[in-house]
Every structure is written in structure tokens, then in C-alpha cells.
Structure 1
Amino acid sequence: MRLPRRGRRTTAAAAIVSLALAITVGTQASAAPAPDEGPKDTVPVQQYEVADLDTQAERTELARTGTPIDEVRASSVVITADAADATRLRDLGYELTALPGTAVERNDFQAAAPSDYHTYADVLTVVNQTRTQYPNLVTSRVIGRSYQGRDIIAVKVSANATVDEDEPEVLFTHNQHAREHLTVEMALYTLEELTTQYGTDPEITELLDTREVWLIPSVNPDGKVYDQESTGSFRSWRKNRQPNSGSTNVGTDINRNWNYQWGCCGGSSGSTGSETYRGPSPESAPETQVVANFVRGRVVGGEQQITSHIDFHTYSELVLWPYGYTYSDTAAGLTADDAAAFRALGTALADTNGYTPQQSSDLYITDGSINDWMWANQGIFSFTFEMYPRTASGGGFYPPGSVIDRETARNREAVLLLLDYADCPYRITGRESTYCA
């Protein structure tokens, strides 16, 4: 069965992706949160280039204002902000230049329309159809529900999917950030490729005979629906849709809400209006807790069955690994051997797709992230893939539907390589006898 591909359709009415989008963007000075100025769901935003940011420390200082960084350039960054936030940043001494027009217009791309991408309901339909067609290869289950009550599903793909076998497990998560719809397409591509090619492609057949694969297509279904379906055009929404106590602002950044070094190091915001708001406590977002509980539930006989993980995001074409909370290559729970294995495997993954490999904090400090938690708390080799485009000129968070097939297939070899090394990631540095005997 060929899954229905939304990306094959083109739409004449392009969505404006850099101007007049609704978003929650608040700022937090390093010393104190920004005041609650009321709900910002309908505030227009656009992208700006922020000049003279050459180092990790300078980029981190900007991030500590509560401003998420869309893209890192050689000596500047690109951010998305509303007019009030742009004014605050200028008052703090930052040099902002509004990017003229839209990224799509500058390069003759057609911005994606919401209909170019699978909806949340489409995803459930595709999973159910695939499970019906491949009952021995695919199972799925609801692992919990979002704040608004939508099912968060985990899909298992393996040669004997109905049985929990003693095989290395690999987890792929997608769509922590609502507007990153290309990541959901990545989940559906992986599901299709593994099922349709089993028994035909020798590599996929061997891997599914010896591995168990888990896909969570949408960690943040409420945010996805809100961004994609609520108005007929994209809203550039990032967070979940959970109300914040004592504030009219809505949403927690799920990828700053994980229970390792949460809020430790200026890599997230305590302001409810910020796009990087970390929540009032670790795992306060129900979506974070659902996925964390699922991962904890894969501990069998005292041993974590999941050995490897990719969390898919957009955009910038990067392969990232822990830690994000510190600039140091090694830290508590991350030895020189661990760091070498991350670096070697991350570089090998990037060699397959042309992404740039680096430690997460090489960009700027983040805390409470999924990668840091997966490794430090569960011992899972965890990577983030920032997918297409490399820059805003390719469509930013909303690349045109015409690139979906190409850009998801671009990660085929990386997915298979991670599955190959799932038995012992240290094998890539020749240390399997030490760590995987």
C-alpha cells in the first residue's frame, strides 16, 4: 500500500510564513520574566536577522531572553518575533533587521498550505490502515492523552510485532513543536518504508527480524491541530495548548519540560509568554509525561530496551547530541567514551543525509531537553535531527509540499544506520567489548 502523500498536491493559495502569523512569543530578561501582557495567540510576527552573534555564549545570552532561535548563521541568527518583542530586544542592545517579504518569496518557493500536510486525523487513519494491512509487522497503542484529550499513539514495527521480544529497540519521536509538520511526514515515511520493503529489501528485512522499532508520530497533537487546522492557514505555533495558571498565556515548550537539568542553566524561560517556557515543573506538560512514562515502561528486567532514539525537528539540517545544558564535551554521566561514541555515530548519521553534526550546546545552551533526559536518565543514545530546510529561504518551518517526499526519503539511510547500531552504539568506536559484552 502506498500511503496517501499530502506533499504531492500543490495549492495555489500560499500561506504567508514569515509575516502576519499568529504566535506566542514573549521575552524574558535574564534577571526576571517579562510581564504577562495578555494572550498573544493572534499577534502578527515575522522573522528577523539578529546581527553580531558569533559565539555560543552570545547566542545563549539571546536565548536567555526567552527568544527561540530559528536558525544559526555564521555571525548572526534568525528569530521569529512580534513587534513588541522586537522592540524589547532592540532595547536590550540587539541589532534586528526584518527579513523583507517572506522566505518563500525570496527564493521562488511556494509556501506550504495546511492541506499539503497530513492532519492529525489523517495520521490516525494511515496508522490504522497500515496495521490492518500488515498485522504481523505493525501494532499500535494509545500511550496517553494530550491536555485536550487527543490520543498520543506509539506504533511498533517489527517482524513479530505482536510479541515483546528480547531485541534492541529504537524510538523515533516527532512533532514536539507544533509547527514542525514535516516531522510527522517523516514518521509516516518511515512507517511506509519499513512495511512495504520488508521481505523485499534485504537490509530492512534483516533489521526488522532483529530489532523493534517504535514511532510516536505526534507528541504534540493539540499544538499540531491548532497550528494547522484552526484558521485555514498556519499560525506558527510552537508549544502545547495547556493553560498556564495565573496567566492568560497558553502553552509549555515540551522540549524544555523534561526532568533532567530542568531550568538549570538559562536554556529555557520562566515566562509563560515565551516560546521556550519550561512549565512550572518538570513533566508538568501531560505530553512530556506520557512519552516519559512510555520510555520508563520499556525497562524490562531492570534493563532499558530502547538503546537509540531520534527526535525529529525542523529546521536547519543538523544532527545534534547531548548535552545541551553545558558547553563541556563531558559532564556527569557523559564520559569521554560516551562522547566519542555520540560524536562518531552522529557524524556517520550526518554523512548519509548531508546534515551538519555537532553537540547540541555548540549552538546555544538548552535545558530540560529530551536528548539530555534520554541519555542521562535512561542511558539511551539520543539524537535530534533538524530537518529541511537549511535556511529560512527554503520555506522555514513550512517548506512547500512538493519537497516532502524528497526530504523524508533523505533520512532513509540514517534511520537504517541507527537501527544497525542499535545492538551496541559503542561498536562505532570499537568499544563493544568494553560496553556490550
Structure 2
Amino acid sequence: MRLMPLTAAFLLALAAASPVVVFNKPTKVASDASSPLLLSIHKPQAQGQGQSQGHFAPVVALEESGDDHKKRPPRVNVTAWFESYHRSDDIRQYFLQLADDYRDLVTFVPQLARTYEGREVYAVKIGAKGCESRDKPQVWIQALQHAREWATGTTAQYLAHHFTSRYGKSSNVTKILRAAEIIIIPNMNPDGYEFSWDADRLWRKNRRNNGNGIYGVDLNRNWPDHWGNGGSSTDPDAEDYGGPHANSEPEVRGLVNFFKSQRRVLGAVDLHTHAQLILRPQGYTNASSPHEAEMKHVGDTMAQVIKGVHEMEYTSARLHEVSPLLTSGSTVDWFYSDQAASANGGQRAYSYAFELRPSPEGSEGGKIGFILPIEEVVPLGEEIAAAMEYFVEYIVKNPLKEK
């Protein structure tokens, strides 16, 4: 594993900016294969919608009475959905339609948090209902923690499409959704995401008003595990500003509380761009975690599964191996932490951060790497869907055991 060149390229990518267009042509694969290494390329199917009410209250569909159906927003054109990026309101409507069209699979969970600008952070749960659904192990996937990383949002959308549209058609997906529940938080930083559309395409943080015309906290430095122990800034103007204290941000607080209400999470994945990395604990220290061997095996295998779809090379590594500084207050460490395990019925979760394509080398070392060409959205989704099929299936059979 050549980590030093990778580290240098990764840091260069975060410091420079140069234009590039990267295209990776998908390879032909066998259709309807049970192995996650062999994913079929398929078109999205039509979907429906719903409406949210109440804190953590599940919602499946919009109930009609009288002329209420006339007030419904126009249906999202799911057939062409992955041909463009979408704003927060449209993404929410996409998931409401998904919940309405796949009522036996999808539950929309509203109002996990309200942001500083009043936007909603929500989740969807995907799993076959009735198959002892209240006792199923869970897998947590979240996206758009960093506003500029739009490809993480499309990947979350694609994963939801993949698992719903293939249920009952793919034996592997059907088996997975009968055995487990997948939780997807598709947009955990909607304020920052909207700002990246309207004002600054490369905006990273949320939109907390820090005073003196300075805004934003890096949500991925605000999680309450070893917060402020290095690898984050105390300067409110810095991109990696960790906030005034741990768990200070409504987006993080809401997700921490939602996680604690589940108590069946076996694994968590935080989607980021861009470096083609699969990162595991620990970030706040150079020491390996007690479960290093288990998490390395899963990370290494997910990299192999991804390569088997479109030949994209991902590197599996501990977080501190690719960062010259320690990183504290991150999701990678929190989902694996003592605090999370205690809230999770004593079960410690496999925890990973994915840095999606393109690699720093492919982006010529520039921040343009955060801007994935739309032509790559579906191939990216396909390769991550393959990894998630393996991930869910494996960890359900092999949950971490306390050491």
C-alpha cells in the first residue's frame, strides 16, 4: 500500500484548484447476478411521494382527503433523475415518492433536526416490513455532511433506488432487506448544500452565524468523541472549525439523538469526496483500534468489490494513515466510540468514511475534484451499491464482538 504518495496527492487536492473533466466508461457486467461483484446496469423505475409529521415519526405516504391530492407537488421524474444534480426540496420529494411507491419497504422519518435556517434533516429506512422488522439489525449511511460534496448526495439517492428497485428481482438484495434495515440520511447539511448552489460551490461547513460576518462549523469535526483533540481548528473562519463545543450543531445533535434511539446499528458509513479511500478508525490517535483486524478485512474487501464493478481503485486505510495530523470530532471515530456503543445496546459498530471518486490524481490536484461530472453519477452509484451489498450482508453475519 503506497500511502505516502496518496497522502501527498490528497493534501494537494485540498489545497489547489484546477479544472478537469474525468470520464470513466462503465464496463459490461452480468445481469441479475447474486454476487455483489456482478451488478446489472438498470434504469430507475417510477416512484411516489409522502408527507412528514412529528419528531422521529415514521411516514409512509401522503394521505388524501377531499381536494388535498390537488395540492401535491408535481411528481419527480425519476426516469431522468440521475441525469442532473438536484436541490434540497427536490431531493426530499424524491424520497417521499420512494416511500409512497414502496410502502412495504420504505419508511420516511421526518424532522431529525432543524437547521439554523429552518431546514429539515430527515431519514429513510429501507427494509422488508413484517420480517421481524423491529428486531432487524441496522446499517447507517449518511451523505452531504460537507456541502460541496454533491456526489455523496447522488450516491445516497442511488443506493435508495438500488435497494428498492431490485427487491424481489435480485436474490441478494431481497435476502439483505429481509434480514436487515438500511437507514439513509441523504442530506445532513441542507443549509450548506443550498449555499453551495447559490453562493459558493465549494462551501464545506454548515451555516451557523459565528459573528463578524463569519459563518459555519465543519460538522465532521463536531461529533462528541475526542472533540478538539487535534485535526480541527478553533478559528471560526477556518474550513475545519470544530464549533464552540462538541455536539453544538443541530445537525449533529439531531443525528446523535436519532442514532441513540435505534439501538440495533451494526455498521455506519459516512460518504465524502474525493480521494477514492475507504477510511476506518482511528483518527484522534495513531494507535489502532481494538477491532483493527476486523475492520481492515471489511475495508479491504469493499475496495475489491468496488474494483470489480468499473475497475476503480480505492485504497483501504486507517484515517490517521492518510492524514498528516490527527482528526478529532469525526464520524469515523464517533460511530465506533464507547458513547455510541453504550447507546447502541452495547453493540459497537463497524465505522467507515468513504472518499468517493475522482481520485486526487484524476482531478489534477484541484478542488474541481469535488465536482463530479454528471456522467459519472450512475457508475459511481453502481460501484458503491456493490460495496454496500457486501457490507450489509457481511456485518449482519459477523457483528463486532467486544474485546
Query: Which residue of the other structure, out of 131, 138, 144, is the alignment partner of 1:175?
Result: 144
Q: Deviations over 1:176-210 (max 9, x none)?
A: 00000001101110111111110010000011011
Could you give the per-residue CA deviations for residues 270-316 of structure 1, whole angstroms, max 9, x where no partner exists?
Answer: 000100000000011111101111101112xxxxx001011000000
Alignment match of 1:158 (pick from 127, 137, 150) = 127
Q: What is the match of residue 88 of structure 1?
A: none
Q: Per-residue deviation at 1:164?
A: 4.6
Query: How far apart in 1 are the matches of 2:182 and 2:106?
Result: 10
- Among 8, 14, 19, the residue aligned to 1:103: 19
The residue matched to 1:187 in structure 2 has which SS? helix
**Deviation readout 1:384-411 (Å, 9 max, x if unpaired):** 0000101264440001111111111111
Shift of 1:162: 10
Distance 1:120 1:74, change over 3 A: closer
TM (norm. structure 1) is 0.69
Contact in 2 for aligned 1:254/1:285 (Cα 8 Å): yes
Partner residue, 1:8 = none
Match of 1:285 among 249, 254, 268: 249
| One-letter identity of the residue aligned with 2:300 | T
CA displacement at 1:72 relative to structure 2: 3.2
Change (3 A) 1:435 1:256: closer
How much does 1:108 deviate?
A: 9.1
Query: For residue 302 of structure 1, what is the aligned residue in structure 2?
Result: none
Would you say the 8 A contact 1:154–1:215 is kept in 2?
Answer: yes
Q: Which runs of 5+ in 1 are unaligned?
A: 1-53, 60-70, 81-97, 110-114, 300-304, 427-431
Which of 288, 291, 300 is matched with 1:347 structurally?
300
Partner residue of 2:12?
A: 77
Matched residue SS, 1:409: helix
Instruction: Give the AA of the match of 1:238.
Output: R
Q: Which of 316, 326, 337 is residue 285 of structure 2 equivalent to? A: 326
Shift of 1:235: 2.4
Structure 2 unaligned spans of 5+: 25-82, 307-312, 341-347
Aligned to 1:186: 155
Alignment of 1:46-85 (within 5 A): 72-73=7-8, 77-80=12-15
Corresponding position of 1:127:
95
The residue aligned with 1:215 is 184
Cα RMSD between the aligned structures?
2.5
TM-score (norm 2): 0.75
Quick one: which of 223, 226, 234 aligns to 1:261?
226
Q: Does 1:370 align with 2:331?
A: yes
Partner of 1:94: none
Match of 1:272 in 2: 236
The match for 1:396 is: 369
Please tell me whether residue 360 in structure 1 is matched to residue 319 in structure 2: yes
Count residues in correspondence: 323
For 2:86, which of 115, 118, 136 is the aligned residue? 118
Q: Is the 8 A contact 2:266 2:395 kept in 1?
A: yes
Contact 2:127 2:133 in 1 (8 A): no
Aligned counterparts of 2:228 and 2:402: Cα–Cα separation in 1: 32
Q: Which residue of 2 aligns with 1:136?
A: 104
Indicate conservation of the 8 Å contact 1:103/1:393, yes or no: no
How far apart in 2 are the matches of 1:213 and 1:408?
Answer: 16
